[in-house]
Structure formats: C-alpha cells, structure tokens
Amino acid sequence: MKIEPDIKLDFNDVLIRPKRSTLSSRSEVDLVRVFKFPHSPQTLSCVPIIVSNMTSVSSISMLKACSQHKILTCLHKYIDINEVIDAIIENPDLINYCMLSTGISDKEYEKLQENLSLMEKKCKPLRMLTIDIANGYQASLVNFVKKIREKYPDIILFCGNVVTRELVEELILSGADCIKVGLGSGAGCKTRTQTGVGFPQISAVSESADASHGLNGHIVSDGGICEPGCCVKAFAAGADFCMMGGVFSGHDECPGEIIEEDGKKFKEFYGMSSNTSMEKYHGGMSSYRTSEGRTCKVPYKGPVENTILNYLGGLRSAMTYVGAHRLKDLPKCSTFIRVNNQLNTVFAKYD
C-alpha cells in the first residue's frame, strides 16, 4: 500500500492573506486576459470564466447572456449545431465566446467533423473545442488529442479531465492548449463516493498549473465552486480559467422548465454521468456502469446576470485586497494560509 504523506488542500482548507495595496477602487482592476497558446496560433481575449458543458446548464441563451460580460460558454455535445450557427449569424461576435464539446468515440468524432464543416460553410470556423471525458487517464484521450491537433491545427484545444502533473504534461505535449483539472469536486458529481477516487481541488490546480505553465500551456479549474471566494482561490492557486456548472444552474437561461412545489420555484440540475443524463441521451444506464452523477432541484435564481455580477464583483474585491491590478497577477499577489474554520455561520440561515 502506498500513501502520500503530504496533505492535499481543498477550497475550504485555505484563505488568502490580505496585504497592502495601491488600488483604491474595484473599478481599477482588469478581469480580461489575453491568452496565447502552445499549439494554436490564435489569441483569445476574455474574462476567463467558463460555463460548464452540462445539458442542464449550457444553452444558446446562456452563451448570449455571458458573452455580454466576455465570459465563455462551453456548449454541451448534444447541442443543435443549426441553433449555434443561427446565433452566430445573428451576432458574429459570439464565435469569440463559444466553445463546442465532444467525446472521443468514433461516432462523436464523425459528428464533430460534420458540425465543424457546417459551421465553416455557413458562418465562421469554430475557434475553441473541448474534448471532454470523465476519466482523462485513458490512453485513448491522448491519441484523440493528437488526431484533433493534426486535423485542426488552428483550433484552441481544451481537454480533460485530469488532476496530476504527469497527464497535464503529456496532454499538452500531445497537442492540447489548455487542460481541464478536476475529479469528483463538482456539485453534480458522485465519483468520490462511488469510486473513492479524487483529488482536492486547490492542490490539483496548483500542481497542474506548475506543470502546464512550464510548457506554455494553461489549465481550467473545473468543479467545486460554491461561492465567489472559491472562484478567487482557484485563480489565486494558478488556474488560468475557471469552469462552473452548479453556479450557473437554476437560471432563466438554463434548459428546462421552472418547477413549482409548495409555492417555491426550482429548476432541474444533473450531472452528465447521472441516471437522468443517461436516460435522456443514451436510453438508460449500461449494466456495467454505475451512476456517478446526482440529480436535484436547485432553487430558481432568475436571470443569470445577477450571478455574473456577484462573481465578478467578488473577484474585483479580492484583487483590491491583495494589490493585483490584473487577474493574471492574482497568483503572484496571493499567499494562502491554512485554516480550520472559514467563517461565522450563526446567522447563515437568515441570509
């Protein structure tokens, strides 16, 4: 039996130490980053928050709303490509904040090629693609990354999910530009309870960022964000992008109808490995699999604009606490401290 003695840290294990700052207002900070990549010749300018490619969260409506704040939306792999094309024809700027996603099966590769060809013919070439599988430790992911990079040399290529430096390095060397980091930390995920496998997110981000940046690559912290402070900590730990699913759930822009129970309003939210997802898109759960995602009703939150402003406001405020003029500067301006208590919750029930 092998045991690593070092303690791995999650978002609730740390706080960020404040320090003197020359910033006098939240309006002085810059949340927009301009990215260059190790393989794609393109550059990308955005606020590096990504709406997760979950079918109960991402949509064309979400893309339109988030693009107004320069936030990216990763559309799920079952999206109607004709709806995407129509939206981009109506507003060509959406192509700069739109990401498609794919799995790695032959069928999914064939569908991807058809979709990308159709986009290039009818509107604009896709700029960003995510190769998304739950277990990024399959050798087939590395091979698929190589195939995509060879076929589409200009595309900005995200892939995942992994949580350790060895795979981050291998995927970047194989052709990926940005690696999604996270295993079992998402609100819709039950991988840790079903399999016992996982990695605390702060440590996963920190170690993966160190590996990625050494190869001029980037990482996405994917999962585990419960509040704006978690998003701040992800960026401070070295994440270049922060992907969120549960945070963006429950809004008007999310797919699905509003559910009313006992005078309260909800919307459905489910993980992509849940029974709900398998029933909707695969005709049920295969006998050799187990559900690693949960299905729940989250409180209805209204328009996503309110959530966006709350998270961007938290980021700006944090940057003034540590003297970071640019979001890119946040890691070098941040010092984490280990804690055994995060906050006073005595009146939390009234919040």
The set of catalytic residues is 189, 191
Average of per-residue pLDDT across 156-178: 96
Global confidence as pTM:
0.92
pLDDT given for residue 286 in this prediction: 47
At 346, is the pLDDT very low, low, confident or very high (cuts 50, 70, 90)?
Answer: confident
| Interatomic CA distance for residues 79 and 68, integer angstroms | 21
Q: With 80 as the cut, is the pLDDT of residue 272 above it? A: no
Give how far Cα 144 sits from Cα of 135, 138, 171, 306, Å: 14, 10, 10, 38
Q: Which of 42-46, 53-57, 195-199, 289-293 has the highest mean pLDDT?
A: 42-46
Which domains, from first to last, does the chain contain? 16-258+303-337 (3.20.20.70)
Would you say how long the chain is, in residues? 351
Q: With 60 as the cut, is the pLDDT of residue 193 above it? A: yes
Question: Do 167 and 145 meet the contact criterion of CB atoms below 8 Å apart?
Answer: no
Hunting for tokens 């079952």 — which residue is that? Answer: 78
Average of per-residue pLDDT across 176-184: 94
pLDDT given for residue 204 in this prediction: 96
Average of per-residue pLDDT across 118-139: 94
Closest CA to 224 of 246, 249, 208: 246
Question: Do 243 and 235 meet the contact criterion of CB atoms below 8 Å apart?
Answer: no
Of 44 and 268, more confident:
44
Dihedral class, residue 262 (left if φ above 0, else alpha if ψ from -120 to 50, else beta): left
Tens-place pLDDT, residues 35-72: 999 999 999 999 999 999 999 899 999 999 999 999 99
